[in-house]
Amino acid sequence: MMRTRWAASVGLIACAFSSSAIAQAQSSTSVKVTLLGTGSPILSAERMGPCTLVEAGSERLLFDAGRGCAIRLAQVRVPWGELTHVFLTHLHADHTFALPDLYDMGWVLGRVDPLDVHGPAGTGEMLTAMIRAIDPDIASRLRSVPTRKPPAYRATEIQPGVVYEHGGMKVTAFDVPHSISPAFGYRIDVNSRSIVLSGDTRYSETLIRNAQGVDVLVHEVVFGGSTTEQQQITNAHTLPEQAAQVFAAAKPKLAIYSHLILFGASDDDVMAATRKVYSGRVEMGTDLTVIEVGDNISVRRPK
């Protein structure tokens, strides 16, 4: 009887310890955010088109696929065969140029699963047109290796709300105001970690609501242009002073700028304008900046 009670007590202690260890492991899961491309339609070797990689455990999700995205993925050594989910904020070309590259070359380099592309209404039609343009390439490669299966894709046209949930990661889309509609921002939750990506947006109360107290808020920024055309572009985006108001209202642990449209202004100009309104932690993003979101939030920049 005593031996049975002792075994039962040990079992309860072990179970409690195991549950505690699991809970601690879950709460300590870190999320890695890599700003693959932080640029704009303006051509730049230093700043590729908008593209952000979010990783947690075995999950690897790509948000937008701007010009040069595939090159940046190679630089951070992400095997294309393991990258199967892309989320588009909207259908402007500077956010989608790399989709045919990811689709075709990802297949050439070993991806066998379909490329899942999630985006606003019109995503399916856009992808069909893009892929039709590379049909000759795919056909020639299939003739060379007749036993190979052709590449596949799935286009999922989403609405605001939870759009993905797998492996402990949840992705929620929300509307943001831009010059094209619909346009989305995204919130990514992994256990107790949270990241919000603004997408292309003007000042947005919806964004503020979705970003309340997040660990990291990645936000676009425009520095007001002087010409009529530049002013039209400015009107569809967020000035540093307006972004600072968003930060002050949402109170993220870290705010970081990406998708920079500066019209010749410097990073210092953007930060000076931001600091007039917001005194919290805010940084300028650069291509290949890595943000580790764990018990602490660290930012590593390429050398």
Q: How far is CA 164 from the centre of its chain?
A: 13
Q: Is 24 exposed, middle or buried (0-12, 13-18, 19+ CB in 10 A)?
A: exposed
Q: Is 21 exposed, middle or buried (0-12, 13-18, 19+ CB in 10 A)?
A: exposed
> pLDDT (tens digit, 9 = 90+) per residue, 32-63?
999 999 999 988 999 999 999 999 999 999 99
H or E stretch at 153: strand 153-157
Paired residues of 189 in beta bridges:
170, 194
By the 8 A CB rule, do 192 and 181 touch? no
Paired residues of 281 in beta bridges:
none
Residue 250: what pLDDT? 98
Active site residues: 94
Reported pTM: 0.90
By the 8 A CB rule, do 163 and 88 touch? no
Taking CA atoms, 7 is separated from 80, 123, 132, in Å, by 50, 59, 66
**In the chain, what are the domains?**
30-300 (3.60.15.10)
> pLDDT (tens digit, 9 = 90+) per residue, 67-102?
999 999 999 999 877 889 999 999 999 999 999 999
Is the preceding omega at residue 182 within 30 degrees of 0, hence cis? yes
* Residues 6+ away with beta carbon under 8 Å from 220: 198, 199, 200, 201, 237, 238, 243, 257, 258, 259, 260, 261
Residue 24: what pLDDT? 40
Per-residue pLDDT of the chain (303 residues; tens, 9 = 90+): 434 443 444 343 334 334 343 334 344 579 999 999 999 998 899 999 999 999 999 999 999 999 999 999 999 999 877 889 999 999 999 999 999 999 999 999 989 999 999 999 999 999 999 999 999 999 999 999 989 999 999 999 999 999 999 989 999 999 999 999 999 999 999 999 999 999 999 999 999 999 999 999 999 999 988 899 999 999 999 999 999 999 999 999 999 999 999 999 999 999 999 999 999 999 999 999 999 999 999 999 997
